[in-house]
């Protein structure tokens, strides 16, 4: 559990008890966006247009160093919604299921349902809608296209539909001049808006999980989002080569992209002209999902639900756009494991919020707290609790316990993460000493400065290793694992990885 000043801990406990007994306990709107790397204005990107999420972030805590535990959708979501870490045999790939990989485990939504919440899934939350289906208060809702045989591709162009039906292959991007709700994410937004209306009339707190599909491949969006970008202005990855000294295990063939029309077969790279199209499609897809998020936030405010609703926006993993010569996810690199995480507490802890009054009162009564970033010994005040940029490390197994602490609900023995409520109350509070993503045979330890990946064989022996200094090499271009002078650091990080592997 992260360090938290004693006065705040005591006050927060009282606050949480009050929240739990309040006749109107806080709601949770959990918004998950597929394949979203930190390509948002709020995260410093100048390439993308994401005004709605950026606006939310300005009233929330933005976690600058949030890491998933598996860089693939099914396993990442299953781990997050169960609060259980992945292993070599649990939560491995995109087809991972909680009800198969962790039988008997509580899900976040199922546990809150038992605590009196109306839990609802709209769009893509778990990879399989049937996974832990009984834990929801109502069957998960997913959009359906007019032509079922094209599945998640959801093409709108007659030409692309005909091509796919004939050849079972289609383009990796499309921009049709259609309304938002002709594509799936617009349909998901419409359903979520209707569900919020219903929630406002129901005398019951809700946990509403809304999952948007874009920017998952194919990058299919309404034309108006494509037209937000000028392809000539789009830059390609500045680090398109494998890191110096990287082992062969770090290379993958990005097969998820290669199955689309116009993409070269392995091992050939994507030509620059096609790469620009793909980045264009990714950016347009982010803007499309951002617009849908904006609709939900506006509806929340219109219905006066924002006063008592925690809003969480998260990706399910990162995404490579040509960095290291790779595309999509499926790797232990930082670009695949780091993703956005933004948490807004009700009305930014103002006096108009039931929950905000309690937490705000707690902080005012504790008066002053020492800032961990202060160079002086005297205490400094916490400014604007619930708003800011949290640089401290967090990982997605921490989300489950954080929600429970915010809602004042009992913790569960199965949870393997730690609550980051301390960082929500004070964004300068320290995060974890390390976080631990993994991918297939590779385990990663990420500290504030370093990231080390080790590949293990079936006997538990290390077969390859990468070490990056994120302070001096944030793009991960030089593998330091075998460099002279790093032996003791490698040993120290390896020992921490072994402890983690043996404890999960």
Relative to beta strand 394-395, strand 66-67 is: parallel
Rounded to the nearest 10 degrees, how much is the dihedral formed by the CA atoms of 123, 127, 129, 131? -140
The pair of structure tokens assigned to 146 is 């007019």
Q: What is the pLDDT of residue 63?
A: 98
Angle at 92 between CA 108 and CA 76, to 5 degrees: 40
Give tens-digit pLDDT for 429-459. Answer: 999 999 999 999 999 999 999 999 999 999 9
Q: What is the pLDDT of residue 385?
A: 79
Of the candidates 289, 130, 268, the one whose C-alpha atom is nearest the C-alpha of residue 220 is 289
Omega within 30 of 0 (cis) for the link into 39: no
Q: pTM for the complete prediction? A: 0.91
Taking all residues of the chain, what is their mean pLDDT, rounded to a whole number? 90
Give tens-digit pLDDT for 96-152. Answer: 999 999 999 999 999 999 999 999 999 999 999 999 999 999 999 999 988 888 999
Interval 228-232 mean pLDDT? 97
Q: What is the pLDDT of residue 407?
A: 94
Q: Active-site positions?
A: 73, 127
Give tens-digit pLDDT for 174-190. Answer: 999 999 999 999 999 99
Interval 269-279 mean pLDDT? 98
- Does 278 score more than 70 pLDDT? yes
Please return the burial class of 214, using the count of CB atoms within 10 Å of its CB with bins 0-12, 13-18 and 19+.
buried
Q: What is the pLDDT of residue 7?
A: 38
Give tens-digit pLDDT for 398-423. Answer: 999 999 999 999 999 999 999 999 99
- Does 200 score more than 50 pLDDT? yes
Q: What is the pLDDT of residue 383?
A: 53
In order of start, what are the domains of the chain with their CATH numbers?
A: 6-425 (3.40.720.10), 441-503 (3.30.1120.10)
Query: pLDDT band for position 20 (50/70/90)?
Result: very low
- Does 321 score more than 60 pLDDT? yes
Distance CA 318, CA 337 (A): 5
Higher pLDDT, 414 or 373: 414
Q: What is the pLDDT of residue 357?
A: 52
Q: What is the pLDDT of residue 347?
A: 66
Interval 321-331 mean pLDDT? 98
Give tens-digit pLDDT for 33-86. Answer: 999 999 999 999 999 999 999 999 999 999 999 999 999 999 999 999 999 999
Omega within 30 of 0 (cis) for the link into 267: yes
Q: What is the pLDDT of residue 359?
A: 57
Interval 363-392 mean pLDDT? 53
CA separation, residue 107 to residues 14, 285, 325, 407 (Å): 26, 30, 37, 16
For the chain, the distance separating the N- and C-terminal CA atoms, rounded to the nearest angstrom, is 16
Q: What is the pLDDT of residue 26?
A: 95
- Does 348 score more than 60 pLDDT? no
């Amino acid at each position: 559990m992260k360090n938290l000043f004693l006065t705040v801990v005591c006050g927060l406990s009282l606050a949480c008890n009050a929240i739990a007994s309040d006749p109107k306990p806080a709601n949770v709107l959990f918004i998950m966006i597929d394949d979203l790397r930190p390509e948002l204005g709020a995260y410093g990107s100048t390439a993308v247009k994401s005004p709605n999420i950026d606006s939310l972030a300005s009233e929330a805590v933005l976690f600058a160093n949030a890491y998933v535990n598996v860089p693939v959708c099914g396993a990442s979501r299953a781990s997050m919604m169960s609060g259980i870490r992945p292993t070599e045999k649990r939560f491995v790939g995109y087809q991972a299921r909680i009800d198969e990989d962790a039988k008997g485990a509580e899900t976040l939504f199922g546990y809150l349902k038992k605590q009196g919440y109306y839990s609802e899934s709209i769009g893509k939350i778990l990879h399989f809608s049937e996974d832990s289906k009984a834990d929801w208060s109502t069957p998960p809702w997913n959009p359906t296209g007019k032509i079922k045989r094209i599945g998640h591709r959801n093409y709108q162009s007659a030409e692309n539909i005909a091509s796919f039906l004939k050849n079972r292959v289609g383009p990796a991007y499309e921009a049709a001049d259609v309304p938002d709700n002709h594509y799936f994410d617009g349909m998901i937004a419409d359903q979520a808006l209707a569900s919020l209306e219903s929630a406002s009339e129901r005398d019951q707190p809700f946990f509403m999980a809304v999952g948007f599909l874009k920017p998952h491949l194919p990058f299919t969006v309404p034309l108006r989002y494509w037209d937000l970008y000028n392809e000539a202005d789009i830059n390609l990855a500045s680090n398109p080569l494998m890191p110096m000294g990287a082992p062969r295990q770090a290379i993958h063939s990005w097969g998820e992209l290669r199955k689309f029309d116009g993409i070269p077969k392995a091992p050939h790279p994507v030509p620059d002209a096609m790469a620009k199209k793909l980045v264009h499609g990714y950016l347009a897809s982010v803007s499309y999902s951002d617009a849908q998020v904006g609709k939900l936030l506006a509806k929340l405010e219109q219905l006066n639900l924002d006063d008592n609703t925690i809003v969480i926006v998260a990706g399910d993993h990162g995404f490579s756009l040509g960095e290291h010569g790779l595309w999509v996810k499926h790797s232990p690199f930082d670009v695949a494991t780091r993703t956005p995480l933004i948490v807004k507490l009700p009305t930014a802890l103002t006096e108009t919020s039931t929950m905000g009054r309690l937490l705000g009162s707690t902080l005012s009564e504790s008066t002053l707290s020492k800032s961990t970033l202060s160079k002086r010994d005297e205490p400094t005040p916490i400014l604007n609790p619930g708003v800011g940029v949290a640089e401290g490390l967090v990982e997605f197994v921490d989300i489950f316990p954080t929600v429970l602490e915010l809602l004042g609900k009992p913790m569960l023995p199965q949870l393997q993460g730690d609550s980051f409520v301390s960082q929500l109350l004070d964004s300068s509070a320290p995060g974890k000493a390390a976080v631990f993503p993994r991918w297939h045979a590779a385990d990663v330890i990420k500290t504030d400065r370093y990231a080390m990946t080790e590949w293990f064989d079936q006997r538990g022996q290390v077969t390859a290793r990468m070490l990056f200094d994120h302070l001096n090499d944030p793009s991960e271009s030089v593998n330091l694992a075998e460099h002279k002078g790093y032996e003791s650091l490698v040993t120290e990080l390896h020992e921490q990885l072994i402890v983690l592997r043996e404890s999960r």
